Structure 1
């Protein structure tokens, strides 16, 4: 049939074939498989690892993603036919292309770098969130402590003020009670001093010796 394999590299190979006048199908089947020595002697479509469909308007196809330093068999048939020995060729791929190897290494390094960058960003975001959350929590606790302290101080001041007022009222009440016991007549005098208008009304003298003394005299003496 005249199938040829050209431009063989470590990963690709170009397969060409003459047009088949008796092929009535709408496409060609390009089948290839690695490690030809392990295949059965009979050619069966199921024995091939990969199969590509090519329109009948074309007479060549580039096989890609091959393994370097590997023996392959490639066959070209019509869609519905099983390949025969004259429709197949065996070829060996070359070593890996240095440029391709360098490109693969660069892609691998770039992938590792991108993955590391993403992980670092995620870790930094998590740490930043944790720090901000902890800072806000401490600040909230500090404000609560300040509010609690101010309330306690206010309560203490209010309690002291109430206690002082109660104590002062108790002292004044006790003092007034003692004064009433010691000087019963002095209450009227204190009332007159505090209320001069009380002199207009007659006040009963506390004893007989003071009955002849007019009350107006007391007021005038006081005035």
Structure 2
């Protein structure tokens, strides 16, 4: 049939075949399998790992995703028929291409970078949430402390005013006691001053009698 394999790399290979008159209104089936075992006695379709369908307008196909340094067998038939030995070719893939290695490394580095970025964003979001939570709690505690301080100040002011009033009352009572001790009639004098109309009439005869007593004494002495 004249099948050829060209442009072999570590991961790809191009398969070329001549057109078949029997496949004008159908398709070509490209079958390939790695590590072909020479013990196989027949080329059955079920023995192939993969199979690709190609339109009849084409006479070539690029096999991809091959394993480097591996022996492959590829067959081309019409309408998925079981191939014969003249419809197959064996080829060996090369070492991995430097470009594919670089692409693999770039893809791996990109995946690691994306994963690290996502993890960092998650950690930053968690830290930001924790900081905001702590700030809100401290602000709430500060407001509660200010309210408690105001209440304590009001209580202290009321206590001071009450203590001051009690001290003033104590001073007044002490002054009254001192006045009673020094002047026993101080209470009567205060009462007289407060209500002079009650004590005015009895006070006058007392003073007149006190004035008359010496006069009587003088008169008896003269006699």
TM-score with structure 2 length normalisation? Answer: 0.76
Report how many residues are paired.
Answer: 205
Match of residue 209, structure 1, among 198, 206, 223: 206
Q: Is the 8 A contact 1:33 1:48 kept in 2?
A: yes
Note the aligned Cα RMSD (angstroms).
3.0
Q: Is the 8 A contact 1:39 1:47 kept in 2?
A: no
Deviation at 1:177, TM superposition (A): 8.8
Deviation at 1:30, TM superposition (A): 1.2
Do structure 1's residue 186 and structure 2's residue 186 form an aligned pair?
A: no
Deviation at 1:179, TM superposition (A): 6.9
Do structure 1's residue 119 and structure 2's residue 119 form an aligned pair?
A: yes
Do structure 1's residue 12 and structure 2's residue 8 form an aligned pair?
A: no
Deviation at 1:12, TM superposition (A): 0.6
Deviation at 1:71, TM superposition (A): 0.6
Provide the C-alpha distance between the structure 1 equivalents of 2:185 and 2:71, rounded to a whole number of angstroms: 135
Which runs of 5 or more residues in structure 1 are unaligned? 193-198, 213-223
Q: Which runs of 4+ in 1 moved over 4 A?
A: 169-182, 201-204
Do structure 1's residue 138 and structure 2's residue 117 form an aligned pair?
A: no
Provide the C-alpha distance between the structure 2 equivalents of 1:191 and 1:211, rounded to a whole number of angstroms: 23
Structure 2 CA distance for partners of 1:211 and 1:41, relative to 1, 3 Å: farther
Structure 2 CA distance for partners of 1:154 and 1:39, relative to 1, 3 Å: farther
Provide the C-alpha distance between the structure 2 equivalents of 1:206 and 1:8, rounded to a whole number of angstroms: 149
Structure 2 partner of 1:83: 83
Deviation at 1:45, TM superposition (A): 1.9
The structure richer in helix per residue is 2
Structure 1 partner of 2:219: none
Provide the C-alpha distance between the structure 2 equivalents of 1:12 and 1:203, rounded to a whole number of angstroms: 138
1:16-40, Cα deviation, whole Å (9 max, x unpaired):
1111211265322211111112773
More off after superposition, 133-142 vs 89-98: 133-142
Provide the C-alpha distance between the structure 2 equivalents of 1:84 and 1:167, rounded to a whole number of angstroms: 125
More off after superposition, 95-104 vs 62-71: 95-104
